[in-house]
């Protein structure tokens, strides 16, 4: 086999295996962004479901595949054309059918939060208005999406980027009580509504839960996460967060995902938790990070490509 043929074969296999287990490689969102250098605090959190909820998600996918298979069999028995059918891969449904990472960039007077999510689901029922690419062959599929939240004072914008979908959906709103110069003192509670939970093609939520969280009270407990001390607020039956409050007062210490000023190091809920794997007080990034949104217009050319392998 020549090298050219080998390269062609590898490329073909990669194209034909969208449902294969994702690699563990991780590339930060800011790595491919340019522009003038600016200094930010950076936190990268990874999501882990509880074993019970993770297994329930796997069983749900297996059940949907079996229902699809039985539908094909029933069509065949009554003389109808069942259409194409794809069995589950030999290794079955991945052990982690939902993977999610949150990156938060805390800058001076503004912050950017990037949620990268991969979910597994089953092609069944054919295309719909919401999922025009959905087939009816029972194939196990994987979809990666990215949601970007941009906070600049009272303005909060949300941008959705989905694999295989060139259209970009963005919405902006004003958050009452949060002024542009409002950088709260460390540990002070500020009102930051949690965004509505988006859901992927498989029905899995792809962000922290939709809840009108009250102002969270400190529990008095402290933890050490990623080598950093943090204070615990709230309760796991709603949302428990651990926030590092000893941070640079010049940065905007809030994001759409925590209501206590500081750096979010952990968020714990009934079914899953997000825990910081990397915390940096000051890294240099290109200021294109904060220029993805020009006014209320999306600069699509500034968006990095979605990761081919997501954990």
Decide: helix, strand or coil at residue 240. strand
200 or 173, which is more confident?
Answer: 173
Tens of pLDDT along 191-235? 333 333 334 444 444 444 433 344 456 788 899 999 999 999 887
**What whole-number distance in Å separates Cα of residue 206 and Cα of residue 130?**
16
Task: Quote the CA–CA distance of 282 and 12 in Å, as a whole number.
Answer: 42
User: Distance (Å, rounded) from C-alpha 280 to C-alpha 263?
Assistant: 10
Average pLDDT, rounded, for the chain: 76
Angle at 103 (CA atoms; ends 289, 284), nearest 5 degrees: 45
How much is the average pLDDT of 121-130?
A: 85
| DSSP letter (8 states) at residue 153 | T
For residue 15, give every residue at least 6 positions away whose Cβ sits within 8 Å of its Cβ, in sequence order, or none.
none
pLDDT, tens only, 265-292: 999 989 999 999 999 988 999 988 887 7
Say what the pLDDT of residue 91 is: 95
Give residue 188's pLDDT band: very low, low, confident or very high (50, 70, 90).
very low
Pairing outcome for strands 297-298 and 293-294: antiparallel
Neighbours of 270 (CB within 10 A): 12
Residue percentage of the chain with pLDDT more than 70: 71
């Amino acid at each position: 086999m020549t090298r050219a043929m080998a390269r062609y074969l590898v490329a073909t296999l990669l194209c034909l295996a969208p449902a294969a287990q994702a690699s563990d490689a991780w590339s930060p969102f800011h790595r491919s962004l340019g522009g003038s250098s600016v200094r930010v605090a950076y936190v990268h959190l990874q999501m882990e479901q509880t074993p019970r909820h993770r297994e329930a998600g796997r069983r749900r996918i297996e059940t949907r595949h079996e229902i699809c298979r039985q539908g094909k069999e029933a069509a065949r028995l009554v003389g109808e054309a069942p259409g194409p059918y794809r069995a589950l891969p030999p290794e079955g449904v991945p052990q982690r059918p939902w993977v999610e990472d949150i990156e938060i960039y805390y800058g001076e007077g503004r912050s950017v939060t990037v949620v990268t999510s991969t979910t597994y689901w089953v092609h069944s029922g054919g295309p719909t208005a919401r999922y025009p690419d959905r087939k009816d062959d029972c194939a196990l599929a994987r979809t990666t999406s990215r949601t970007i939240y941009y906070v600049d004072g009272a303005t909060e914008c949300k941008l959705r980027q989905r694999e295989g979908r060139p259209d970009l959906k963005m919405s902006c709103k004003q958050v009452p009580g949060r002024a542009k110069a409002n950088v709260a003192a460390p540990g002070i509670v500020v009102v930051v509504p949690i965004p509505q939970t988006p859901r992927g093609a498989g029905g899995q939520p792809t962000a922290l839960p939709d809840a009108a969280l009250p102002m969270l009270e400190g529990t008095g407990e402290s933890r050490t996460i990623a080598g950093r001390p943090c204070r615990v607020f709230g309760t796991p039956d709603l949302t428990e967060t651990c926030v590092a409050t000893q941070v640079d007062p010049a940065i905007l210490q809030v994001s759409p995902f925590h209501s206590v000023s500081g750096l979010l190091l952990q968020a714990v809920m009934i079914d899953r938790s997000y825990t910081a794997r990397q915390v940096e007080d000051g890294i240099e990034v290109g200021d294109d990070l904060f220029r993805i949104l020009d006014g209320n217009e999306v600069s699509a050319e500034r968006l990095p490509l979605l990761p081919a392998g997501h954990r």
